[in-house]
Homo-oligomer: A and B are copies of this chain.
């Protein structure tokens, strides 16, 4: 058995535009724009929605959004989503990037929420 939940909403923005993007979303949604220690590509937007992480990520790619699914077993969760039709297109450490049916991107990542939030909201899979 393992658990997972949709945890994170990423606003992927070309790196040169990331600061402007973060300033926009902060003002648009009425939340702070908070740098993430040791992860300079991320700017967190705390308070957009309870129990869901929102952040701008500077990327070397076209603008897009993507979502993360956090899990206590990244290999099992990736295998579960692949069995549902997703295709793994990249892996970096314990983070798996999948293209899901329909064509969008989803990343499977280790749990990064507070344990209380994960325990309360994650689904358990057989």
Answer whether residue A89 sits at the interface, using C-beta atoms and an 8 A cutoff. no
Do the beta carbons of B49 and A102 come within 8 Å of each other? no
CA distance A25 to B101 in the complex (A): 9
Q: A27-B84, A49-B6, A49-B52 are in contact. Are A101 and B17 (CB under 8 A)?
A: yes
Chain A facing B: main interface SS: mixed
The oligomer's copy count stands at 2
Q: How far is the CB of A103 from chain B (nearest CB, A)?
A: 3
CA distance A81 to B29 in the complex (A): 10
Interface hub of A25, A28, A69, A123 (most chain B Cβ within 10 A)? A28
* Interface residue count on the A side (C-beta < 8 Å): 42
**How far apart are A11's CB and chain B's nearest CB, in angstroms?**
6
Considering the complex, which residues of chain A in the window 24-80 have a beta carbon less than 8 Å from any beta carbon of chain B?
Answer: 24-25, 27-30, 48-52, 56, 62-67, 69, 80
Given contacts A14-B102, A20-B101, 6 further A-B contacts (CB under 8 A): A6-B48, A21-B101, A24-B84, A24-B86, A28-B106, A63-B104
CB proximity of A81 to chain B, nearest CB, Å: 6
Which residues from 62 to 120 on chain A have a C-beta closer than 8 Å to any C-beta of chain B? 62-67, 69, 80-81, 84-86, 100-104, 106
